[in-house]
Amino acid sequence: MNMGLIVQKYGGSSIANAERIKRVARHICDTRETGCQLIVVVSAMGDTTDHLIELAGQVTTRSPSKREYDMLLSTGEQISIALLAMAIHDLGFEAISLTGRQVGIRTDAQHTRAKIVKVGAERIENALSAGQIVIVAGFQGVNEQDEITTLGRGGSDTTAVAIAAVLKAEICEIFTDVEGVYTADPRVVPKARKLDVVSYEEMLELSSLGAGVLVNRAVEFAKKYQVPVSVRSSFTFSEGTLVIEETEKMESEVIRGVTCDKSEAKMSILDVPNKPGVAGKIFGALAEVNINVDMIIQGAREGGRSDISFTIAKSDLIKAAEVTERVKEELGANQVLVGRDIAKVSVVGIGMRSHCGVAAKMFTSLADQGVNIQMISTSEIKISCVVSEKDAETAVRLLHEVFELGDVNVASVEAKSG
C-alpha cells in the first residue's frame, strides 16, 4: 500500500459551477500540500449529463445508437477534468487531465452499462512521479475495439475505487453532497444519525436497497481489494463515514440502517403449472433480455397450479411485460399483473448474525401500524419487505424508532424544547 497516495472523487453537484470548481481546486491543493500524491476523479458538472440526454432526445425520434450515446455522454467528464486542471494551475500547482482512454481504463463491450476489466497504471504513475496532480474523467473507458464506453449510474465512484485498488492508495475519498452514510434518509427521518464507520457488507446491502450514497460496484471493488473508502461532504469537508472490513465492535449494533427503494415494480404471473422447469423458463426469458430480478415468491394453488410474483426495476417494466406475456401464453398461465405503487423497505446490520428476533420485531411493528407486507426477502444481514408505496415512509420512520437508531442529541434537544 502506498501510504502517500490518496484518491479523491467529486460528484457533479460538487463541481456544478465555476465557483464550486474553484472551491474544490483549493481543497485539492490543500490536500497536496500535506505531502501526499493525489489522483482526483470527477463526474460531469451538475446537470450536464441530463442536458446531453435531453439533446439526444431532441435530434432523434428513435432510441439513439448506444455507441453514439456513450460518445455523447462521455464528453461531460472531459469538460470537468479540463476546467478543474485549469483551476489548479491557477493556484500554482501542477496538474494534468486525462480521459478514461488516456489512463487505460478497459471495459467489457456493453455500451451504457460497461464494467471495468482493467485499469492502466503507467500513465498515472509517470504523472505522479513528475509531481503532478492527476485529474481523471470518471464514468468512462474503452472496450477491446477501442470504442468509448460509459459505466452507468455511479460510474465515477467505480472509477475512483478501481484506480485506488490498482494503485494501492491509502484511501479513496468520495466527496458528495451529503455528510456521510446515515441510519436512514434524513429527509424522511429527521433524527437519522450519521454513521462513523460501516462494513463493506453492510454498505453493499444498503447501496443495493436504496441508499444512494455509493453504488454497489464501487463497494464490491473496495471489498475485493480492501480499499478503505471515506464518504464525505464537498461542502463542509468534515469527517464522514469510513467504509472498511467488518470488526467485532460493529456486531454490537444489531441494526445499522433502514432503507427505502421506490424504483422497483412488482409483476405476478397467475395460475401457472406447478412443475419443474416453469420458474426456469420465466426467469430465463427475462435474463435473455438483460432484466435483473430481485425478490421472488411462489404461492401454491389447488389443482397443481401456482402464482409466481417477482420485482424488477421500473425502467425494465415495458420490456418485462412483453416477455412475460409471451411466456404466459407458452405456459398456459391465466394472467399477468403489474404493480407500480410499491416500495421495498429494509433493515440492515451485521449484528443480525448473532441476534435473534429481528424479523419478528420488524413484522409485528409494521402490523401494529396497519402496514401490509406483500413480499419478504432475507439474507444473513438484511430483511426486506415489499409494502404499498403510500406506507413506505411511515414504515421507515417506524422501524428507525423501533430499532432505536436515532440521534440521541437530536432527541434530547427536542425533548427539552418541547
pLDDT score of 163 more than 90: yes
Q: Lowest mean pLDDT: which of 1-5, 128-132, 260-264?
A: 1-5
Q: Lowest mean pLDDT: which of 242-256, 283-297, 382-396?
A: 242-256
Which pLDDT value is given to residue 178? 87
Spell out the alpha helix ranges (H) of 135-225: 155-167, 200-208, 216-225
pLDDT score of 408 more than 60: no
3-state secondary structure of 194: strand
What CA–CA distance (Å, rounded) separates 142 from 163?
Answer: 15
In total, the chain counts a number of residues equal to: 418
Q: Which residue has the cell 452514510?
A: 181
pLDDT score of 157 more than 60: yes
- Per DSSP bridges, beta strands 116-119 and 2-10 are unpaired
What CA–CA distance (Å, rounded) separates 418 from 414?
Answer: 6
Which pLDDT value is given to residue 213? 84
What CA–CA distance (Å, rounded) separates 301 from 313?
Answer: 27
Asked if residues 272 and 333 have their Cβ atoms less than 8 Å apart, the reply is: yes
pLDDT in tens, 257-288: 999 999 999 999 999 998 899 999 999 999 99
First-to-last alpha carbon distance for the chain, in angstroms, is 52
Enter the C-alpha cell of residue 329.
401464453
- CB atoms near residue 330 (< 10 Å): 10
Give φ, ψ of 290 to 5 degrees.
Answer: 60, 40
DSSP letter, residue 275: S
Q: In the structure, what pLDDT confidence band is assigned to residue 215 with cuts at 50, 70 and 90?
A: confident
Q: How remote is the C-alpha of 75 from its chain's centroid?
A: 22
Sequence-distant (≥ 6) Cβ neighbours of residue 26 within 8 angstroms: 91
pLDDT score of 330 more than 70: yes
Angle at 390 (CA atoms; ends 386, 392), nearest 5 degrees = 50
Q: CA dist 416 to 89, 193, 409, 410, Å?
A: 51, 19, 11, 10
pLDDT in tens, 356-387: 899 999 999 999 999 999 999 998 999 999 99
Mean pLDDT value of segment 407-413: 41
What CA–CA distance (Å, rounded) separates 175 from 16?
Answer: 13
pLDDT score of 2 more than 70: no
SS3 labels along 211-260: CCCCCHHHHHHHHHHCCCEEEEECCCCCCCEEEECCCHHHHHCCCCEEEE
